[in-house]
Amino acid sequence: MTDTPSCSHCAPPCCSLDVSGAEQERLVMMFKALGNPIRFEILKFLVTHPGCITGDIVDTLPLAQATVSQHLKVLREAGWISGITEGPARCYCLNAENIAWFREQIVQIMG
């Protein structure tokens, strides 16, 4: 690999992408989780229906309950949402703290 760029058609960097280690892993995980149209829709639904239960989400999607439960798990483990047990059901909300963290990271590394 050469140290000098092979061409000069590129503008100076528009962003730093200054992140690494565990933070980068976490960021990639969040990117991956939202890189799916179903999961993006679920997140959108939770904005207008905070505190809804799994069944409510299942009813809005053309998917089996087991599949939706898996998607919710991915979103939970990535930190986009959090679920609180409420009797036999599970109440889902956006994870405001992590969403804010993600936004700040994007602003910083792509700003």
Q: What tokens does 31 get?
A: 């990117």
Q: What tokens does 53 get?
A: 């239960």
Least distance to a second copy, CB of residue 23, Å: 11
Task: Report which residue type is found at 106.
Answer: I
**Which option in a second copy, DNA, none does residue 72 bind, with CB closer than 5 to 8 A by kind?**
DNA
Q: Where are the beta strands (DSSP E) in 4-111?
A: 52-53, 81-86, 89-94
Q: What tokens does 56 get?
A: 């409510």
Q: Does 43 bind DNA (CB under 7 A)?
A: no
Letters for 8-37 (x = contact with DNA by CB under 7 A, - = none) are ------------------------x---x-
Q: Does 5 bind DNA (CB under 7 A)?
A: no
Tell me how far CA of residue 32 lies from CA of 52, 54, 80, in angstroms. 24, 22, 11
Residue closest to 38 by CA, chosen among 54, 55, 16, 60: 60
CB-wise, 66 or 96, nearer to a second copy? Answer: 96
Q: Residues in contact with DNA, total (CB under 7 A)?
A: 26
Least distance to a second copy, CB of residue 46, Å: 8
**What residues numbered 48-107 form the site for DNA, per CB under 7 A?**
53-56, 58, 62-67, 69-74, 83, 85, 87-90
Q: Which residues pair with 82 in a beta bridge?
A: 93
